[in-house]
Each structure stands twice: as C-alpha cells, then as structure tokens.
Structure 1
Amino acid sequence: MDSHYDIAIIGMGCAGSHIVQELLRRKTDLNIVIIDDFKALSLDKTWSFWEKGNGKWDHLISHSWKKGSYIMPDDFIPLDLDPYVYKTIESRDFIAFAKAELQQKSNYTLIEEKVQSVSGAEIKKIVCEQATINASIVLDSRIDPKFFKDTEATTLQQHFKGWVIKTERPTFDPEVFTMMDYRLRDAGTTSFTYVLPYSTTQALVEFTYFSKDVVSDDTYEKYLQEYIAKYLQLTNYSIEKTEQGVIPMTSYKFEQHHRKNHLKIGTAGGWVKPSTGYSFKMSEKKAVQLVDNIILKRELNHGMISKKFRFYDDIMLDVLHSDNARGPEVFHTLYRKNKIQTIFSFLDQETSLSQELGIMLPMTSVPFLSAFFKKLF
C-alpha cells in the first residue's frame, strides 16, 4: 500500500460517495485513498431527492413518484411534479455501488479504518487506527466539535422517526407521495408526517420535526401510531423497518474549518440545504464543482457557496427558530402560492431574482421582515 496519495477522502457517506463517483467519471489518474470504517448510521438511510426526468442514478433508485400532495387540516394541495420526478435511493445501495466501482481501479485504495487525526501544512498526515498515510489534499466529512458547542448560529434540527409498514389490505396509492401532512402536529412545533408509498400495501410513514430540540422515542411513536390509526385508518399492520435520524438545519459557517488543501465536505462542510435538510442533490452538485476545482487547480472552496441563497436560507431558519409554531403557515403559503416546479427550482438554487421575489413576497409578514432586516444588517 502506498503511503502518499494525491487525494484522501475521509468518509464514504453521501458526499464522499458522490466525490468518488465524480472522480471516476472524469477518469483522472490521480492517486486516491478513501478511508471509512463503514460503521456509520449513513449506511442504512433512505435518501430522497427530485430531478427532471431521467438521472444518472436511476439504476439505483428503489422508488419514484411523479405526483405528490401537501396537506393541511383545511386544505389539500395536489402536486403534479412534471417534468420533475421525486426519487428515493437506499444509502446502502449508493455507497456499495461507489465502493464496487472504485475497487476496479488501480489508482484507488480503500482503507476500512477510522481516522484519528489529520495534521500538517503542505502535506497532510492522516493517522488511522493502524495505518498512517500522507496526502496532498484531504476531503474530510468529520464534523468539527466546535459546531456542537456553538451558540451564535441559528440552528434547528430536522429529526424524525419512520416505520416501513406492511398492511393486510390495499391502503396506499403508490403513485402519490405525501410531502408534508400537517393534520397531526406536536403543538407549538413545526412537525408533520411524510409518507412514501412503495406499493398498495407498503409505505414509509415518518413523523418529522423542524425544531430546536429532539424528542423521545416514545413521542415519535405516539404520533406515528396516532397518524396510522386516525388518518390511514389501519389497525392491522406490521413494522418491517425503522429509520431514525437527526439532520442539522443551521446558519453555522462550516467553511471556517477549511484549511489549505483540507476541505470539509458533506454535513461538515455545509452541504446540507439549511432550510430543508435535503442533501443528496446538493452533494452531487458540490462534488462536480469540487472536482472541477481540483482538476483546474483552483482553491478547493471556489464556487461552493451562494451568498444569495444562504441569505434566503438564513431568513427561513430565523423565522422557524423564533416562532416554531408558524412553520405550517409558512410552508402552506409557499405551496399554495407557487407551482411545485418553481419551489423545486428555488430549492435547487436555480431561480432568477424575479422568481425569488415571486416566492418571497407572498410570505412577507412581520416575522419575515424582522428576519430579513436582522440578516441584512
């Protein structure tokens, strides 16, 4: 095994796997090492995303939908996504595919260990449990501990627990997923149910919060049971799989932890969309930009941050943080006043200023104006 590499990728979760596959696509002859002990919870998650039509991961997706819904106690908004498709992919499948691809290339090395430290200036020294290696560039998915101690940034948690349930009788419409159902809420919070129907008798039913603090397992399960009984009208079903997670939604400036030739990636690098918690497509885009930067010998963080969309995200976070109970009203206005295609384009950071004003102005209120001027000045 070589001791020096051009690039070391620490962590092969969503971001690391995207970077590996983008490097493979470019057919670079750089000497690359990937380090991961493959014990993280990211190995068993469901990642969902939207994109227009066919995509390069379609051979890996497990389910897809062209229609969805947004539900309030007094409103039902059907979502015809065309030309977008909402897709879901199992993290284990995505990571396994990237792992299998890299193992076919002689210039890629996989070390299944945990990284203990990274040090050095021009050449980085990476100490693992057994191996010690050097690399010119380090792409690091480990979250800096300072983030967990920060008190300055506006931070919410997207936290959830979901069950994949199997029913005895046909219950679900496998053609329509539920983006947000606010008929059942934990009072005073932005909380909702998310449903991905896999067939007429199987679905992922997930109770989700956008809030400051996580709750107990019993709380998630209470709302899951209530939703299934009251809104799905089911008493006989089996739980085939449980999924649980916490995703930071934050204005924290993760780029402060970048060092020369040492870039934080994934959640650790701010690759999660702060206002939604979605990361799969954002990671794909950032992986493309990052590999461009490496090949063109630019600064690693060149073009990785949109100040304009960060500003929009910060406003949304501030509104939800200051009055978490307003979330359903805010999202209802967003979905009622805009086409889903415009919303997706906005969240993908692909809209024009006129489109952005069209989205933001209908949501203008005292909390939004307060957040706007707070972030502006």
Structure 2
Amino acid sequence: MEELTADVALVGLGAAGGSLLRALVRDGRARAGRRPLRVVAVEAPSASARRSASRSWCTWGPPGWRYEGDVAARWSRVRVVDGRGGVVEEALDPLEYRLVRSGDFEAAVAACAAGAEGVELRRAEVLEVADGVAGASVRARADDGGELLVRARWALDSRPPALPVPGRGRTVLLQHFRGWRVRTAEPVFDAGAATLMDFRVPQPARGTAFGYVLPTSAREALVEYTEFSRQPLTRARYEEALRAYLRGALGVGEFEVLEAESGVIPMTDVPFEPRAGRSVFRIGAAGGAVRPSTGYAFSAVQRQVDAVVAALAVGEVPVPPVPHRRRHLLMDAVVLRALDSGTVRGSELFPELFRRNGAARVLRFLDGRSTVRDEVRVMASAPRARMLRTVGGLALSAPARRRPAR
C-alpha cells in the first residue's frame, strides 16, 4: 500500500472539490505556519461508476466572474413560460446567466493541480474516509488494484449524498432530469434568452415538471425535461417527454442529439451537516449547498469554499458553513411541502413569482442574497391561503425517518 501525508485531503474534484482546489492554489494554498499547505486530491477514475457523466452547471451574477475562462455560454435575458404559453421575459442587466460545462471545469482543475507545487492529484476509487484523534485518513484503490492511503490533518469530502437521503425530514422530493444538446435542421431558438422554466408539459399529480432551454445558437441548445417529484423516471420516459416537448411546445422539426446528460438532486428539508467528525468535513451537496426549493448549488458552493480557505489561512478549523440562512430553509420547506402535497401547483406558483417580482428579485432570493423586504414580497405573491394551510400542516407533522441506501 502506498502512503501519502498531507495537510488537506480533497475527496472528489467536481464542482465543490474542484472549486476548493482552485481556490487553494489561487490563494497560495493558505499556509500551515510558514509553509504552504500540502494538498492531496483523490478523484475517481474516468471509467468509475461513481464518477458523474458530463453535466452542465449554471449560475448568475455580474460580469468578471472568478471562472470567466470556463463559461461556455451566457445570456442577458431569462424567461419563464406558464402552462398556457404566457411568457414572462426580462433583461438581467447588469447580471448574466452563465453555463459552465463540467468537462471544461474539470480540465481547468487538472491543469491547476499539475502546475502547482505541493499539490498532488491521484485517480483512485475512494473506499473509506475515516476520522481520527490526530487527523483524517482516506483509503482508495487505483485501477491497477493498488491501494492508496492518505493521512491528512483535514479531509474535505465533496462526494454527493447517498440516495435515498438519510436523516429526518418532512418532505423529500427529487429534482430529476434528462437533457439533450440538440442541433436542429431549421433555426428555432432565441440565442439571447435562457428559458428557466417552461410549463407546457404534462404535470405530475404531485410536484411539478417543466422544460429548460439553454440555446447557444439559433440551431443548437441544451434542452432538458425536469421533474420535482418523489421518484425518477425510466430513460425511455424521459426521452419520450423530451421528444414531445421539442416537437410540441418548441415546434422543432428535424433534429439530432449531439450529447445527453441526466441527474438526480435531492430537494428536501432534511438537514445536511457539514461536519462529519473532528477532522472530516462535507462540502457541496452533502454539506448543504443545494438550495432545497430549486436545486441550484454552484453559488453556494463558492461561499463554502471561500469560508474554508479563509479558515485555513489563519489556522482555524475549516468547517464549511451551511450556506443558506435559516429563514430561507424554512421558506423552502413550505414550498416543498406545498408542491409535494398538491396544495400548490408549480406551473402556477413559479410563473407568478417571476411575473409579480421580476427576475432580479427572484434570482436574489434563489441565490440566498435577498433582503427581508425582498422575501416578504416574494412570499406575498404566492397563494396566501394555501401556503398558510401548508405552514399549519408542517407544524403538526413529525419529520419522517429516512434510511440511507445500502
């Protein structure tokens, strides 16, 4: 068995682990006394079943972002379409909606690791992350069968949470989707606007469903079918829904599929605890970065990363913060229960939020940067009586116990 020692062990180099590695290198690898920290990152091999396939990450903000070189596309306008075809469209100026493709981001992470002294990247399947009195240990197995043991003062684990979600919560939904990057025979897309939600798709009895369109030209776009519901669909059902959405709502004739992606993201009021032990911490989705009511996480991940790097720079314990305020999580719990119970239809709720508040206020709310005044106005635009019934139901219900996947 090969053994390595480090100040920081990073487990996984997706959005969270990769962002943390890049931040450590950018900030001079926060120092341990007078020397830079030694960092060992362990990422699953490309052929591993645990390694996520190609996927797209989106966020928004002003121009001049820290990952500007990774942006594959950007939009100055966003739109939401209700079930009857009514369109709410708004310019985001001075903000922009951005797309980062995981392959581009991961290539930048690998280049960052390769060019940094004191940073070592290993491709291996992580078998165990263990906490101890003197630090953490990460045990992994490489493709050739050889085992690797990394002993570190701190371990930051960015692997996604197990499904079903372990812990106690009143509502456990999943955001599950399949997307195609398509090229059409005729120009049909408006390349200047991202469609965040298009409800011109059949709605499930509980939860909601919508189309999501990120056009990169008049003839190419990432088109996704997304549901917020309790169970994922089969691949055949996703693709049937995608074809129906492309042909029907979008009016697409001939097209070819260039690439496919899919995913499942927990949307729940189950609390995610970033601290897993004395020296082991979770960052990213398993550390509470996902906004429960929407599934967005990239911006919250950056807040966790900045806090960890700042703590390491002054020799403090690098516990990632829960990046969402308590009041936001409480509001999200109400929205999730309302959708899951069928008390409120997502196809009515979300278009009305954008229509009555404007995109800038709603996006501030979704990003956790809203003021109390913003939040009062957003919640006041929801169906008041039905939301109050939902609040009452939540107060009377006991959290359900979820068992982790075996």
Aligned residues of 2:42 and 2:126 also touching (Cα < 8 A): yes
Which residue matches 2:376? Answer: 357
Aligned residues of 2:168 and 2:271 also touching (Cα < 8 A): no
| Letter of the structure 2 residue corresponding to residue 32 of structure 1 | V
Residues of 2 paired with 1:122 and 1:371: CA distance? 47
Which residue matches 1:78? Answer: 89
| Letter of the structure 1 residue corresponding to residue 66 of structure 2 | K
Which residue matches 1:201? Answer: 219
Residue 332 of structure 1: how far off its partner (Å): 2.0
Residue 143 of structure 1: how far off its partner (Å): 4.6
Which residue matches 2:278? Answer: 260
TM-score for both structures, normalised by structure 2? 0.87
Residues of 1 paired with 2:73 and 2:274: CA distance? 38
The structure 1 segments of at least 4 consecutive aligned residues displaced by more than 6 Å after TM superposition are none
Q: In 2 relative to 1, CA 97–147 (structure 1 residues): closer, same or farther, beyond 3 Å?
A: same
Which residue matches 1:310? Answer: 329
Q: Deviations over 1:324-372 (max 9, x none)?
A: 7611111122111101111111112112111211111221423321333
Match of 2:269 among 251, 258, 280: 251
Q: Deviations over 1:204-245 (max 9, x none)?
A: 111100111111222211221112112222231111111111
Residue 149 of structure 1: how far off its partner (Å): 4.6
> How many positions carry a matched residue from both structures?
377
Residue 67 of structure 1: how far off its partner (Å): 0.9
SS at the partner of 1:42?
coil
Residue 159 of structure 1: how far off its partner (Å): 0.6
Which residue matches 2:78? Answer: 68
Q: In 2 relative to 1, CA 139–106 (structure 1 residues): closer, same or farther, beyond 3 Å?
A: same
Match of 2:139 among 123, 127, 131: 127
Residue 65 of structure 1: how far off its partner (Å): 0.5
Aligned residues of 1:144 and 1:257 also touching (Cα < 8 A): no
Aligned residues of 1:71 and 1:182 also touching (Cα < 8 A): yes
Which residue matches 1:55? Answer: 65
Gaps of 5+ in 1: none
Residues of 1 paired with 2:319 and 2:366: CA distance? 21
Q: In 2 relative to 1, CA 25–375 (structure 1 residues): closer, same or farther, beyond 3 Å?
A: farther
Which residue matches 1:180? Answer: 197
Residue 333 (structure 2) pairs with residue 326 (structure 1): no
Residue 202 (structure 2) pairs with residue 192 (structure 1): no
Residues of 1 paired with 2:344 and 2:331: CA distance? 20
Residues of 2 paired with 1:300 and 1:14: CA distance? 18
Counterparts of 1:164-175 in structure 2, within 5 Å, are 164-175=181-192
Residue 352 (structure 2) pairs with residue 345 (structure 1): no
Residues of 2 paired with 1:353 and 1:27: CA distance? 37
Residue 304 (structure 2) pairs with residue 286 (structure 1): yes
Aligned residues of 2:194 and 2:213 also touching (Cα < 8 A): yes
SS at the partner of 1:272?
coil
Residue 168 of structure 1: how far off its partner (Å): 1.5
SS at the partner of 1:59?
helix
Residue 14 (structure 2) pairs with residue 13 (structure 1): yes
Residues of 2 paired with 1:43 and 1:337: CA distance? 37
Residue 254 (structure 2) pairs with residue 240 (structure 1): no
Task: Quote the sequence identity (%).
Answer: 28
SS at the partner of 1:234?
coil
Q: In 2 relative to 1, CA 256–22 (structure 1 residues): closer, same or farther, beyond 3 Å?
A: closer
Residues of 1 paired with 2:335 and 2:237: CA distance? 26
Match of 1:104 among 115, 132, 136: 115
Residues of 1 paired with 2:233 and 2:343: CA distance? 15
Residues of 2 paired with 1:37 and 1:356: CA distance? 40
Residue 66 of structure 1: how far off its partner (Å): 0.4
SS at the partner of 1:164?
strand
Which residue matches 1:89? Answer: 100
| Letter of the structure 1 residue corresponding to residue 245 of structure 2 | Y
Residue 172 (structure 2) pairs with residue 155 (structure 1): yes
Q: In 2 relative to 1, CA 187–366 (structure 1 residues): closer, same or farther, beyond 3 Å?
A: same
Which residue matches 2:39? Answer: 32
SS at the partner of 2:52?
helix
Bigger helix fraction? 1
| Letter of the structure 2 residue corresponding to residue 6 of structure 1 | D
Aligned residues of 1:13 and 1:43 also touching (Cα < 8 A): no
Residues of 2 paired with 1:315 and 1:293: CA distance? 34
Residues of 1 paired with 2:93 and 2:186: CA distance? 30
Residues of 2 paired with 1:239 and 1:167: CA distance? 9
Residues of 2 paired with 1:144 and 1:200: CA distance? 37
| Letter of the structure 2 residue corresponding to residue 9 of structure 1 | L
Larger CA deviation: 113-122 vs 34-43? 34-43
Residues of 2 paired with 1:197 and 1:250: CA distance? 30
TM-score for both structures, normalised by structure 1? 0.93
Q: In 2 relative to 1, CA 144–278 (structure 1 residues): closer, same or farther, beyond 3 Å?
A: closer
Q: In 2 relative to 1, CA 24–83 (structure 1 residues): closer, same or farther, beyond 3 Å?
A: same
